Amino acid sequence: MNAAARYEDRGALAVLIWACRRDLKLALRARAELGLILIFFILVASLFPLALDPDPALLRRIGPGVAWVSALLATLLGLARLFALDHADGTLEQMLLSPAPLQALVGGKVLAHWLTSCAPLVLLAPLSGLQFGLDGESIAILAASLALGTPVLAWLGAIAAALTLGTRAGSSLLGLLVLPLAVPVLVFGAGAVEAAAAGLGAGAHLSLLGAAAIFACLGGPFATALAVKIAYE
């Protein structure tokens, strides 16, 4: 990883940006795959009215929850790619051996992952909101809760993906590892929209999500880097 090493003396932030830009470039070549994640999100959300009764009042009540669960499942899809490609061609091992801080490299990768797999969901959320007849304020809060919650999901997913590197684990094991840990984010994320709709204000929920996002971004790199090291010994 000579490229990373060159940035080493410029500090961790430069390494992070380098790793992020690299992953973004790779992701650009896999645009179709990323599009599928977005399609999956809308598809899953659309299944619920079909499975239930498209009664507007019911849809307005379940809308935020359904959108959140669909987003949760959609973020699982992109996880396998996070480390799989670099692991397959040996780049990840190089990253481990390089003098550049692994936390920064991992941070860059997860940032790129969030930008390509999660941020688009935040942008698509209004579409899902319209499907369920949510009003403007609810849609805004839904998008905000997703924006704050998806970083936590991204870091939980990164740890799980690193732990299962190169194993015969499928995406169902990734789901089993991530989903129980994601319950608090789900509860407060969907709860934020509900609270706003009930007139109680979503401030507390969004603050909690924001705090969770900060903690995830602080602790996530270290846990993920440790998981990668474990995978390579």
Two tokens at 203?
């401030």
Residue 2 or 172: the one with the smaller Cβ distance to another protein is 172
Residue 144 or 208: the one with the smaller Cβ distance to another protein is 208
Residue pair 38/121 in contact by the 8 Å Cβ criterion: yes
In the numeric block, the tokens 């990164």 are attached to 158
Instruction: Name the minimum Å distance from CB 187 to another protein.
Output: 4
Residue pair 195/185 in contact by the 8 Å Cβ criterion: no
Residue 85 or 169: the one with the smaller Cβ distance to another protein is 169
d(CA 128, CA 71): 10
List C-alpha distances in Å: 95 to 87, 99, 100, 162, 186.
10, 8, 8, 14, 33
Give me the numbers of helices (H) and strands (E) for the chain, helices first please.
Answer: 11, 0
Q: Binding segment for another protein among 31-39, 90-98, 118-126, 164-172 (CB under 8 A)?
A: 164-172
Out of 12, 181, 210, 217, which residue is the one contacting another protein (CB under 8 A)?
Answer: 181
Residues 194-223 that bind another protein (CB under 8 A): 223
Out of 69, 141, 177, 196, which residue is the one contacting another protein (CB under 8 A)?
Answer: 177
Rg (alpha carbons) of the chain, rounded to whole number:
18
Residue 233 binds another protein (CB under 8 A): yes
Residue pair 118/150 in contact by the 8 Å Cβ criterion: yes
Out of 188, 193, 206, 221, which residue is the one contacting another protein (CB under 8 A)?
Answer: 188
Count other C-beta atoms under 10 Å from residue 13's C-beta: 12
Q: Which amino acid is at 215?
A: F
Site string for another protein, 116-155 (x = CB under 8 A): ----------------------------------------
Counting residues that bind another protein (by CB under 8 A) gives 23
Residue 104 or 163: the one with the smaller Cβ distance to another protein is 163
Q: Which amino acid is at 125?
A: A
Residue 66 binds another protein (CB under 8 A): no
Footprint on this chain of another protein (rule: CB under 8 A) = 159, 163-164, 167-169, 173, 176-177, 179-181, 183-184, 187-188, 191, 223, 226-227, 230-231, 233
